[in-house]
Structure 1
Amino acid sequence: MNFMPISNWRWHGLALSAALLDQASKSLIDGMLTLGEQVPVSSFFNLVYVLNPGAAFSFLADAGGWQRYFFIVLALFVSGWLAFLVKTPRPRYEALGLSLILGGAVGNVMDRMITGKVVDFLDFHWNGMHWPAFNFGDVFISIGVALLLWTTFRESPLQTEPKH
């Protein structure tokens, strides 16, 4: 395993950078588009401006409002746990994955705390079928999860870190 030799705080800096990039992109969309507006960019991609009161794939979007507080509490709890995990020495790609998940989660929870809804603006489509719109926070979370899965499955169960 390749444990990080540099201060663990760099991973918190990466998480903060991801959250800030997510928030900056959402602010840019808010300034460029009106709610519900769709701007074709290519034959398979649009910029849109939608607000999602639910979670991934609009899960619980029509739940009546209580989901806002549920998702805020859940995201804050998970973010605190991730911040703790990132603080402890771990393999580089695992730390990278955790940092990206943390940054994406913080970016999205900021939206929920401010407006009660998450700004989504990336709209991919093909043959009239649209993937649910998402944002950079979602991208960071997805890449982070992929990195965690990759680090989990790339190591043999027989490979263990020597005890010191």
Structure 2
Amino acid sequence: MHRGPLSCLLLLVVLDQASKWWIKASFVLYESREVIPGLFSLVYYTNTGAAFGLLAGESTMVRRLFFVGVALAALVLLGLLYRQVRQSAPLYLYSLALIASGAIGNLIDRVRFGQVTDFLDFYWRGYHWPAFNIADSAITMGVALFLLASWRQPPAGKIDLKS
């Protein structure tokens, strides 16, 4: 992998894990501390499901196997995509690094703890976004960057995931 995207990936995994460690060490579960009144708080929540609590009611073993399997499959897919776009625009490489770093960060949580720590809480008046973490942000930004790169400059050649 190119040095810039690899450095980005490693830095984001470290930031994600360090921020989750800090939250666990500094907050009591479900504690909330307002940072920007009416807009942003730091909280300590855990999520045993996927985005928005999907599969949260399933048994621990089923959830763990499902999420570890999905994360590993996603990382394999990202590796195959990387092989296809490594000679394309750098935006592709950074987008894949962002997505992979998020997948790795949340995978570490699921393997170690069986759940993901969420702590970024944004809201506005009566609207409240579910809490999330740096790994979730990296995935979202990576997908957006990949779509932007695809719109601006489609990858050289056809993406073939069979090779």
Asked if 1:20 is matched to 2:14, the reply is yes
Q: For residues 44-55 of structure 1, what are the structure 2 equivalents within 5 Å? A: 44-55=39-50
Q: For residues 81-160 of structure 1, what are the structure 2 equivalents within 5 Å? A: 81-86=77-82, 88-155=86-153
Deviation (angstroms), 1:79: 1.5
Unaligned ranges ≥5, structure 1:
1-6
Asked if 1:33 is matched to 2:31, the reply is no
3-state secondary structure, aligned to 2:29: coil
Structure 1 contact 22–137 (Cα < 8 Å) conserved: yes
3-state secondary structure, aligned to 1:120: strand
- CA separation in 1, counterparts of 2:95 and 2:107? 18
2:54 to 52, 55, 59: 59
- CA separation in 2, counterparts of 1:78 and 1:110? 14
Counterpart of 2:161 in structure 1 is: none
- CA separation in 1, counterparts of 2:120 and 2:65? 25
Deviation (angstroms), 1:76: 1.5
3-state secondary structure, aligned to 1:151: helix
Counterpart of 2:69 in structure 1 is: 73
Cα distance per residue 1:6-30 (max 9 Å; x no partner): x624422321211111001101111
The 1:84–1:14 alpha-carbon spacing in structure 2 relative to 1, beyond 3 Å, is: farther
TM-score with structure 2 setting the length: 0.85
Structure 2 contact 88–156 (Cα < 8 Å) conserved: no
TM-score with structure 1 setting the length: 0.85
Counterpart of 1:4 in structure 2 is: none
Unaligned ranges ≥5, structure 2:
158-163
Deviation (angstroms), 1:124: 0.5
- CA separation in 1, counterparts of 2:115 and 2:15? 18
Counterpart of 1:8 in structure 2 is: 2
3-state secondary structure, aligned to 2:78: helix
- CA separation in 1, counterparts of 2:43 and 2:6? 30
The 1:160–1:11 alpha-carbon spacing in structure 2 relative to 1, beyond 3 Å, is: closer
Q: Alignment RMSD, CA only?
A: 1.9
